[in-house]
Structure 1
Amino acid sequence: MNSGDSKRMLRNFLNNVLMLDVLKVRIYPNKEQEISLAKSFGCSRFVWNFYLNMMLVLVCCLISSATS
């Protein structure tokens, strides 16, 4: 794979990233639901950050291989 292919792949990838809208809601959970929600959000945040880091590493690797 030459540098032109790497740049094209990176450009195509970045063009296909989805943008999501936000919906704000207000909830009033009881104590048991608060604990459950805190656990769920903690796990979700961990998974999000894990894969975000993987994406950043991938993009950095593609950029560095495209420039070398």
Structure 2
Amino acid sequence: MRAYRLLTAEDTAAFCHKVTEALSKGWELHGSPAYAHDPATGTMRCAQAVIKDVEGEYDPEIRLGSL
């Protein structure tokens, strides 16, 4: 099964650490990062899609962050 996650957070070092942690757990970058202004909070937000091939069948109850 190929798993997909979209990592998002405010534009801080914490976002970079979130992506780096996913990469260290075997996730791979998928596409380009996105960067946008959030007018509700007045902050910039980042997003990066990641994918990972894992054994087993898809289950909607799976916690993708634990893969």
TM-score, normalised with respect to structure 2: 0.24
Higher relative contact order (CA 8 A, sep 6+): 1
Higher helix share: 1
TM-score, normalised with respect to structure 1: 0.24
